[in-house]
C-alpha cells in the first residue's frame, strides 16, 4: 500500500477560487483506498508554501507526492516534466513577497525532473476523454517553487517520487475567455494521476517533447 500526498493551492492573483485546491478536496471526499491519501491546500506564498510542504513531508513520509496548481490560460491538464531552481515572480504572492532571480532551493541543482510517469499520466487522462499533455515549464512562481522543494525531497532518498500537475480554470471561473474544464473532470484527472503514479514507477517509452 502506498501513501500519497496530494496538494492544491488557495486562490491568488485576484481570483476568488483555485480549481487545484477544489479538485483535491473532491478527490479526498471520494477516496476509497486501498492506498492512503493525504491532502492539503497550500498558501500561495513562497515562504509559507515551502514551509507547509516540508512540514507535510516530515509528518507523513509519503511514497509519492503530487502537487497541483492552477495555470490559468492552459486548456489541458499538464503534468510537469521539470522543476527549475528559480523564483522570479511576475506578481506578488499572497504575502506580498515578490522574489526576483532567486534560487528556490538555495545551493540546489539548476533543475530537477519529475519522477512521476508524466507521459503515462497524460495518456491515461486523455484516454478518459479529458485534454492532457506533458508540460516542460512550470513557470517561475509559487507552483514551480513548491515543485522544486518536492523534487529536492524526492531526490534525497531512494523510494521517494514526486511531481507537479498544473490544471486549467474550472468551468465558470476563467477570466477573459480563458479555457475551462469542469471541476469534476479536473478531479477525475487527478484521480487518474494518482492511480498511474502508484501503478508504474517507470514512464512509458513513447515520443513526446515540444518544439517550444
Return residues touching ligand PCA (CB under 6 A).
9, 12, 18, 20, 44, 69-71, 139, 141-143
Active site residue 80: yes
Q: Is 145 a catalytic residue?
A: no
Whichever of 145 and 191 has its CB closer to ligand PCA, that residue is: 145
Catalytic (active site) residue 143:
yes
| Minimum separation from the CB atom of position 102 to ligand PCA (A) | 15
Angle 183-199/19-29 helices, nearest 10 degrees? Answer: 60
Of 9 and 153, the one with the shorter C-beta distance to ligand PCA is: 9
- The one catalytic residue among 133, 145, 149, 166: 166
Nearest-approach distance from CB 53 to ligand PCA, in angstroms: 12
By the 8 A CB rule, do 134 and 81 touch? yes
Given the residues 133, 143, 145, 180, select the one marked as catalytic: 143
Cβ nearer to ligand PCA, comparing 56 with 123:
56
As to burial, measured by CB atoms within 10 angstroms (0-12 exposed, 13-18 middle, 19+ buried), residue 35 is middle
The residues assigned a catalytic role are 80, 143, 166
Amino acid at each position: 500500500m502506498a501513501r500519497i500526498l496530494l496538494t492544491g493551492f488557495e486562490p491568488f492573483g485576484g481570483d476568488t477560487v483555485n480549481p487545484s485546491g477544489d479538485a483535491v478536496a473532491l478527490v479526498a471526499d471520494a477516496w476509497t483506498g486501498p492506498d492512503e491519501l493525504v491532502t492539503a491546500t497550500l498558501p500561495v506564498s513562497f515562504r509559507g508554501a515551502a514551509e507547509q510542504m516540508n512540514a507535510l513531508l516530515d509528518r507523513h513520509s509519503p511514497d509519492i507526492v503530487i502537487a497541483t496548481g492552477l495555470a490559468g490560460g492552459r486548456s489541458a491538464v499538464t503534468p510537469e516534466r521539470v522543476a527549475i531552481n528559480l523564483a522570479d515572480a511576475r506578481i506578488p504572492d499572497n504575502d506580498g513577497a515578490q522574489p526576483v532571480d532567486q534560487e528556490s532551493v538555495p545551493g540546489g541543482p539548476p533543475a530537477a525532473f519529475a519522477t512521476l510517469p508524466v507521459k503515462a499520466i497524460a495518456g491515461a487522462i486523455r484516454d478518459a476523454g479529458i485534454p492532457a499533455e506533458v508540460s516542460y515549464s512550470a513557470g517561475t512562481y509559487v507552483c514551480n517553487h513548491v515543485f522544486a522543494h518536492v523534487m529536492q525531497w524526492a531526490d534525497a532518498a531512494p523510494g521517494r517520487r514526486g511531481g507537479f500537475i498544473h490544471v486549467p480554470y474550472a468551468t465558470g471561473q476563467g477570466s477573459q475567455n480563458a479555457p475551462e474544464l469542469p471541476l469534476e473532470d479536473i478531479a477525475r484527472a487527478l484521480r487518474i494521476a494518482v492511480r498511474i503514479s502508484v501503478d508504474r514507477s517507470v514512464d512509458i517509452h513513447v515520443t513526446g517533447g515540444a518544439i517550444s
